[in-house]
Structure 1
């Protein structure tokens, strides 16, 4: 494992995207515990992409326009759904002092779906990881899995940091409904923007 791999992975993970937004929304909504749950869910959502890249399915996705477009538009639809939910259902981003544990399953499922329905993540694994695996590597598959595991660990750590930051400022907006409304609209707009960007990406 090289320093170049770690730095590049850290930059990719730390760049705000749908996973970061969702984790921060969870932290603002229900506190640090919910943000950690969301971070875990987003990290688990990487697994299908890692498996696809390791088994060669990413190559099919990369060469098949139909497969790529199908997954892409499913992802776009889900991002728009999240935006709509954020705007219409105030419970999606309502800051309460009571962090109900019963929402944990929903948080995890939503977080996993966010990353599963992101075809660019599969393409990333397909194009990025092989650069750090030598063609003469006798255990190339194992090496790729090891690098993927490191990438997932970085994702979990960085997302937890984002989530804890959101949870830390949570109390400052509990008594400020206008700020909460503005933040809910901002998150919704961000999901729409990310959905639009995904819609116009090419294989």
Structure 2
């Protein structure tokens, strides 16, 4: 089992890292501001579900493939970049609908959940990060390393959920102001599209 002191240090590091600007928290921020805090929470749950996949993969050693195989790494990051560009296209081409109709389109929770999952799972940098980060807090003398890494991954997910949920609440409060007029909604569409393009470029140009 992970020692209490190590766990406290890990919680501090995980919380800090969750707030460092990156694809996941920026994704939560834009979706919350665009559709409201409830949608931001759906995206947050999706992202955390993706983190579960990465935690299990790293703990079982599967993520090592992405560290040793350039082809696997490139394939996954291309999938992620293409998906983000698709979201950017949808944002750039969407019309500034009335707030009521926009909320209707944003209602399906499963769609926003899936967006979060895809966003996280198709980012190979998360798997590489977990592969490099989690083992630093394990001690073979304290038992199964796999169990320790699963525990640490679970703690990281809790920290990420708390941080992303707070981001969702804070940015979601902007949605009321941004949706008062068609002009503000149009600019929000464009801003969201630019963020998606930026994230796509970031993932596409990432290196192992």
| Residue number among 175, 190, 199 corresponding to 1:194 in the alignment | 199
For residue 153 of structure 1, what is the aligned residue in structure 2? 158
Equivalent-residue separation in structure 2 for 1:95 and 1:62 (angstroms): 45
1:140 aligns with 2:145: yes
Matched, 1:73 2:78: yes
Residue of structure 2 in register with 1:129 after alignment: 134
Shift of 1:58: 1.1
**Alpha-carbon separation, structure 2, partners of 1:26 and 1:61:** 29
- Residue number among 170, 175, 192 corresponding to 1:165 in the alignment: 170
TM-score (norm 1): 0.89
Deviation string for 1:151-193 (max 9, x for gaps)? 1111111111111112212211222333322222222112211
Give the distance between the partners of 1:75 and 1:94, measured in 2 at CA. 30
- Given candidates 18, 22, 44, the residue that maps to 2:23 is 18
Shift of the 19–140 alpha-carbon distance from structure 1 to 2, 3 Å rule, reads same
TM-score w.r.t. the length of structure 2 is 0.87
The within-5 A match list for 1:88-107 is 88-90=93-95, 95-96=99-100, 99-100=103-104, 102-107=107-112
Task: Give the gaps of 5 or more residues in structure 1.
Answer: none
Secondary structure in structure 2 of the residue aligned to 1:57: coil
Q: Tell me, in whole angstroms, the C-alpha distance in 2 between the residues paired with 1:102 and 1:191.
A: 21
CA distance in 2, matches of 1:84, 1:49: 28
Is 1:38 aligned to 2:43, yes or no? yes
Structure 1 residues 193, 32: closer, same or farther in 2, change over 3 A? closer
Instruction: For 1:97 and 1:76, locate their aligned partners in 2 and report how far apart those are by CA, in whole Å.
Output: 29
Pairwise CA RMSD: 2.2
Give how far 1:111 is off.
1.0
Q: 5+ residue gaps in structure 2?
A: 1-5
- Alpha-carbon distance change, 157 to 90 in structure 1, aligned in 2, over 3 angstroms: farther
Cα distance between partner residues in 2 of 1:14 and 1:142? 26
CA contact (8 A) 2:52 2:154 kept: no
Deviation at 1:59, TM superposition (A): 1.1
- Name the CA shift for 1:169/1:102 in 2 (closer, same or farther; >3 Å): closer
For residue 90 of structure 1, report the CA deviation from its aligned partner: 4.0
> Structure 1 stretch 16-25 or stretch 76-85: which is displaced more?
16-25
